[in-house]
Chain A
């Protein structure tokens, strides 16, 4: 079960699991996450965060980047990012790099 049932924190290094694919759908002109029997339509912020989820970058690093980019309070951004990623993880659309999950 490594990589599943994760608890997202600033030290997490999340990534999409193999069965979830983030893709821009040209026909509908929206971003979608494709997963078994599911198509999700993440909003713009979620897409931006998910594009940073490469299994290497930590949530703390993502929060730093987004805070700088939007000149927004880092603490609020970090809280929102963790909550959004935890929601995705609970639904099975997010995992962690395996070496982090011992």
Chain B
């Protein structure tokens, strides 16, 4: 439901950049070191049906989810491993009845916890209980700045109004707030208004995250891909707002990598700083990694500790560092700047996760893919394939919301 850690976090450069400083303390042999943050997708159940959902197309059913005790054991292991931050995500993390208990446990073991939420299931009491349990930060996704566009993208009536209400409660409870705005061709015209909405909501931080095209988003690429004119306008608006709002509203900008020259440093490099745990307990180098066929992922339900999986498992070591790289990455001066881009995107677009990410202009496939994206961005397809457990539902003119709502849960 959110692109939060989907690579391209624009970590601040300079001497106070924690990642850079922490990495310098590691020996060259330990190129991956101790993970900083882990995304816990505690459920894939979600009342929203966003067509760019970052969850895999094959969703984990509710019946396969880790139990409360299993998640608590995971949290304890992560703290011991040296992980500093936990992102409770989904699906919709508050669809789990034990969310307050899990946040409390994260606090008890010393983890800084973020809630990455669609907000629509939260009550004020539940949010207050989460604050009391030590929740450090709330991130709410927005699909637009007004209900007509936003509720259509979310595939849920009244979602936008509810999100605004929860954002207001978040600040009343003095919890820090990030507004996460996932941007694409059908809402980029609202960007200036979304920035103003974040200011009006007294948000501390705004993520302007262009959709990343794997999984559901790849299926919906023709309906979502922005035009190059939109991207140029977006960059201009973001840069102006960043300068104007310095110290008031921090704005992180995730560029659409199809239109970039170099690929994003996805996840900070495969298996270097971050990982994910899926609802069923798979330990994944990124949230889309299960889309790569042929890679086996270890589970927290196996006999191995999470530390062992992080250090030794085949899936984490396969694309770690630079040794796996083919040309043009192998001899490229940027190989440690971007680590060859995104493995999942390379797999989705070239059929081999070991290829250079075609988002890079040095990839032999870049021109073909870029031109196809440009054609799609100028095409007529605007209908969404909504995300659900039934493999997706194509938008129709007379959508029957009630019928679709029944497919949201596992």
Contact = CB atoms under 8 A, between A and B. Distances in A.
A40 B174 contact: no
A3 to B, nearest CB: 10
Contacts of A89: 247
A4 to B, nearest CB: 5
A32 B178 CA distance: 21
A38 interface: yes
Contacts of B246: 5, 90
A28 B34 contact: yes
Interface string B175-205: 1101000000000000000000001001011
A25 B82 contact: yes
A28 to B, nearest CB: 6
A17 B269 CA distance: 30
B202 A19 contact: no
Interface string B29-48: 00000101100000000000
B139 A36 contact: yes
B18 A33 contact: yes
A92 B250 contact: yes
A40 to B, nearest CB: 4
Given A1-B202, A92-B204, A36 B137 contact: yes
Given A36-B139, A40-B16, A40-B18, A5 B84 contact: no
A40 B85 CA distance: 12
B25 A28 contact: yes
B247 A90 contact: yes
B408 interface: no
B112 interface: yes
Nearest to B82: A27
A70 B199 CA distance: 42
A34 B85 contact: yes
Contact of B85 (A30, A39, A43, A91): A39
A57 interface: no
Nearest to A17: B176
Given A6-B247, A34-B85, A42 B16 contact: yes
A44 interface: no
A19 B176 contact: yes
Most B CB contacts (10 A, CB to CB) among A27, A46, A88 go to A27
Contact of B25 (A6, A18, A30, A34): A30
Nearest to A29: B25
B22 interface: yes
Given A91-B250, A92-B250, A37 B4 contact: yes
Contacts of B5: 37
Interface residues of B, number: 39
Contact of B12 (A4, A38, A46): A38
A10 interface: no
Contacts of A5: 246-248
B80 to A, nearest CB: 8
A34 B9 CA distance: 15
Interface in B70-126: 81-82, 84-85, 110, 112, 114
Interface string A23-61: 101011010111011111111001000000000000000
Contacts of A18: 136, 174-176
A87 B17 CA distance: 12
B167 to A, nearest CB: 15
Contacts of A91: 12, 16, 250
B137 A39 contact: no
Given A19-B136, A37-B9, A92-B247, A28 B82 contact: yes
B34 A36 contact: no
Contacts of B25: 28, 30
Contact of B18 (A4, A27, A38): A38
B337 interface: no
Contacts of A23: 84, 110
Contact of A32 (B9, B12, B18, B136): B18
A30 B223 CA distance: 47
Closest 4 CB pairs of A and B: A27-B82, A19-B176, A41-B21, A39-B18
Interface of B: 4-5, 9, 11-12, 15-19, 21-22, 25, 34, 36-37, 81-82, 84-85, 110, 112, 114, 136-137, 139, 174-176, 178, 199, 202, 204-205, 246-248, 250, 252
Interface of A: 1, 4-6, 17-19, 21, 23, 25, 27-28, 30, 32-34, 36-43, 46, 87-92
20 contacts: A17-B176, A18-B136, A19-B137, A27-B81, A28-B22, A30-B25, A36-B136, A36-B137, A36-B204, A36-B205, A37-B5, A37-B114, A39-B18, A41-B16, A41-B18, A87-B16, A89-B247, A91-B12, A92-B205, A92-B250
